Every structure is written in structure tokens, then in C-alpha cells.
Amino acid sequence: MSDVRHVLVLPDRDAADEVAVELMARFGVTEQPRPVRDALAGEDDAEDAQWLVPVEDPDRRLDAAELDRFAAEWEGWREEP
């Protein structure tokens, strides 16, 4: 079985940190994801950075549509793997 990864894109660090914690509570993710800063191409200003929250889903139990709605609560979205 191949690993499945969802990537949630958030507008700032605070949102990414909250999402990482809430994923465990709401979706039963067993290992807290680590947010990663993703500076937009050509931008040096930290204000222009997005934050990525990679979510491992090896058992394919997380619903993509639910993750889409979840990320939207923090003005984010889910990237297709």
C-alpha cells in the first residue's frame, strides 16, 4: 500500500500551528504534523510566506472533502498530492 499525504496550505504560522493540533483532536491523526514555511517564489518578506501542514494518511482514512472544509476554516486549502 502506498503512502498517501495530504498537504494543507495555511496563510500564517499561527493558523498552521492550530491546524496541526486540531488535526489530532478532530481527525484522530496520531502524530502531530509539523508545519513548514513555504516562501512564495521570489519573495523574501516573511509576510508573504504560506505555511504547509503535511498530513500522512497511509491507511487512506481521511476524507479529502472534509480536509478541504477543515482547512477553509483557517482561510487555507488542501493541495492535491
pLDDT of 26 over the 80 cut: yes
Percent above pLDDT 90 for the chain: 64
- pTM here? 0.84
Of the pLDDT bands very low, low, confident and very high (cuts 50, 70, 90), residue 1 is very low
| Cβ contact 6:64 at 8 Å | yes
| Cα–Cα distance list, 45 to 8, 15, 16, 42, 50 (Å) | 21, 18, 18, 9, 11
